[in-house]
A and B are shown apart, each in its own frame.
Chain A
Amino acid sequence: KAGVTQTPRYLIKTRGQQVTLSCSPISGHRSVSWYQQTPGQGLQFLFEYFSETQRNKGNFPGRFSGRQFSNSRSEMNVSTLELGDSALYLCASSYLARETDTQYFGPGTRLTVL
């Protein structure tokens, strides 16, 4: 089975721009979660989607948004980019959204904001 895929793998943007990141979960997985990873803060939860509905949201400003499509693919969008948004953005998928379901991570998108 193919793993979680994320596109693009690398992005360079300037402050004020917006960006859209894409995630395709493992086939059959219906839950997708997004995380931001920075050296200082570690891995922080952004949001979780299940069956096209946002189930949970982390403590990030409204500039961060996401959605999930009927085929379980997910996108996240960051508007009005700031320097501090430079990070590795990781998508993880799981079969369902039960507490015992394991999450499998994609390779990540490295975003650099100049």
Chain B
Amino acid sequence: QKEVEQNSGPLSVPEGAIASLNCTYSDRGSQSFFWYRQYSGKSPELIMFIYSNGDKEDGRFTAQLNKASQYVSLLIRDSQPSDSATYLCAVRGRSQGNLIFGKGTKLSVKP
């Protein structure tokens, strides 16, 4: 059973701080990794994707991938109240079309 694990939270950080969201996956053959943000009552919105080991930065967001440890993380710098949402980690394996999602981490950014 291929699994993606995330802490459900809630993770609470003050405005302006760095929020760190973590995700582990069980399938070593996984090739593609995605972070989605989902506001309450809305559908998931793609934030970042990463395929190679190391860091990938996009604005205030940095995704980090360590395939040896089967670990992917998302850092949000200068967190804003508008970042308050559930963050979903998704993994796609080799030759696999569907994404396997973690259950999400709820982030709360306090003003």
Contact = CB atoms under 8 A, between A and B. Distances in A.
Chain A at the B interface: mostly helix, strand, loop or mixed? Answer: strand
Contact of B100 (A45, A50, A97, A102): A45
A33 B99 CA distance: 9
Contacts of A8: none
Interface residues of B, number: 26
Interface string A42-60: 1111001010000110100
Interface string B90-101: 101111111111
Interface string B21-60: 0000000000110101000001111100101000000000
B46 A33 contact: no
Interface of A: 31, 33, 35, 42-45, 48, 50, 55-56, 58, 88, 90, 92, 97, 99-100, 102-108
